[in-house]
Chains A and B, each alone.
Chain A
């Protein structure tokens, strides 16, 4: 049986150099192949200069987020399509590092300081037992930032959602957190496009968190 192949076009660039599409024909397709496994194939067989981030391979680390045929997704969870060509580009909302890798620093610029990442509020039990501990669902991949059409002067869905979760995890910080998210750069800057929630790969629904922040701000004003 002849092996199936796909052509992958990757937008490659780095700071100070214009990005260009590089074409990699003949990337093999297999039933279990993902975009990430295809990128690893390109790196190890065709071009070891290709730069992309990856770590966990199961949607937990959030590092491999990219834009696949115009849609932001996690490369490790996205099956490799059979329709050719496949076009890949870095997330547009974060500063470019090189090729498909983006700088995470900008993502965290507006996150609340020292916010909890471990929560006990996800599975409240009926009995008086302490709920199980669970890491936050948000894997900080930046896909919601890419999906949000509002650019500039807005904290963005990832940071706003992180602020809301901090209120849930540490109710004693509510006043401080609400102060940080008020104004047009904060929660009221959201225009309810809802793209953040539609594209989130980790069931976070940032737009819902932003709405709850807006309600709390209205209550407190």
Chain B
């Protein structure tokens, strides 16, 4: 069978689905991506936009830290046009712990993440609005990106190279025959009609909804729904990503983006994926913690407060903070004796390209192809190219 004729359906138009479509097209396939709502309307778009250097995870989870550092460098190369690359600072508040700092420095060194110790004067020279209570900190290679337009670059490139992207197209049934996925039924919400689509491989990249989609084929995906609130103020008080030099907690990252600063993120295990409600106490907690890093942060005009849910791998009943941000690709043939379907869960926005790589490696292996991944070096097309073909060009370097 020619690669063009292999019918691959990617479910989910978030960061991982976008990168998977791009990866598949570069390997020679012509996938169809279906998204129930609009692109990146789930967890992806609501992300605060922190391009993780990995420094945040070096003490708890060096594997994820290494992945982040590698992927952050790749993304800087393939889609620099949507990344504000102004670096980051990890800052020591009054209650900083020497032992954590020692582990942090060792962890960064072991993961190859370049850092530099800065004294108070050097910190304030870079970000004058930082609290004078901060004694010292570290310069780290964090950055921020447009959480919508970065995946849109993957989708623009995938579409230009032959992928089909359908929005407002809901998966409602998975057809199986002799323990093999053979097709799906979708509801086209725009045309208001149902369609049967045959497929040789179904890729479940639906993030927090992964379990619901897998259940349509009587398969399982174990996800913990860990939701977090973020708050945006209408002022750019810092140009760099400001993080607290401490184990990950609520309200310990301030991310710049355009004219805004975003303070994130809380952590709360949910019993369902769709939760929008933002509680005032969560907002108050975030703003109080932001004030410790940048005094009077909370006095600026509050622009928005919103909630996003992380699809964490496994770990029912545990605290979301201690659960790993690792990615996992599930072969449902091994887990549920169901051929023709894989699911990708976990991971982070920063590592979406790597999530796509392991997923497409598994898909190729299952389909009997040996085709290398090319996404680490292939520069992405302009995000506007997704909407208009005349803009489907590679952004010129600065």
Contact = CB atoms under 8 A, between A and B. Distances in A.
Contact of B81 (A97, A117, A203): A117
B190 A31 contact: no
Contact of A56 (B46, B256, B305, B384): B46
Interface stretch (A101-109, A143-151, A179-187, A209-217): A101-109
Interface of B: 37-41, 44-46, 49, 80-86, 146-149, 168, 189-190, 192, 230, 232, 236, 239-240, 256-260, 262, 274, 276-278, 280, 283, 303-306, 308, 382-384, 387-388, 390-391, 393, 395-396, 398
A78 B276 CA distance: 15
Given A44-B274, A104-B387, A98 B168 contact: yes
Q: Interface size bucket, A side?
A: 35 or more
Interface of A: 14, 30-32, 34, 37, 40-41, 44, 49, 51-61, 63, 76-77, 97-98, 101, 104-105, 107-109, 111, 113-114, 116-118, 120, 123, 132-137, 139-140, 202-203
27 contacts: A14-B192, A44-B274, A49-B189, A49-B192, A53-B37, A53-B38, A54-B37, A55-B38, A55-B40, A56-B46, A57-B304, A58-B260, A58-B306, A60-B49, A60-B257, A63-B38, A77-B303, A98-B168, A108-B384, A109-B388, A111-B388, A113-B391, A113-B393, A117-B382, A134-B84, A135-B84, A137-B259
A132 B190 contact: no
A23 to B, nearest CB: 19
B149 A117 contact: yes
Q: Is the interface of B mostly helix, strand, loop or mixed?
A: loop
Contacts of A14: 190, 192
Contacts of B49: 60
A59 B148 contact: no
A118 B304 CA distance: 23
B147 A32 contact: no
Contacts of B37: 53-54
Contacts of A120: 398
Contact of B398 (A32, A116, A132): A116
A1 to B, nearest CB: 16
Given A14-B190, A32-B278, A135-B82, 17 more contacts: A31-B280, A55-B44, A58-B232, A77-B304, A98-B168, A105-B387, A105-B388, A113-B390, A114-B382, A116-B395, A117-B81, A117-B382, A117-B383, A134-B236, A137-B258, A140-B384, A202-B258
Nearest to B151: A55
B87 to A, nearest CB: 9
A140 B240 CA distance: 24
Contacts of B41: 53-55
A135 B257 contact: yes
Contact of A118 (B83, B148, B278, B283): B83
A117 B393 CA distance: 13
A158 B239 CA distance: 26
A114 B232 CA distance: 30
A111 B391 contact: yes
Nearest to A162: B384
Nearest to B394: A114
Contact of B190 (A77, A97, A134): A97
Contacts of A134: 84, 236, 239, 256, 258
A30 B37 CA distance: 24
**A-B interface, 4 closest residue pairs, ranked by CB to CB distance from nearest:** A55-B45, A57-B306, A61-B148, A132-B239
B48 to A, nearest CB: 9
Contact of B38 (A54, A105, A202): A54
Contacts of A104: 387-388
Contacts of A109: 388, 390
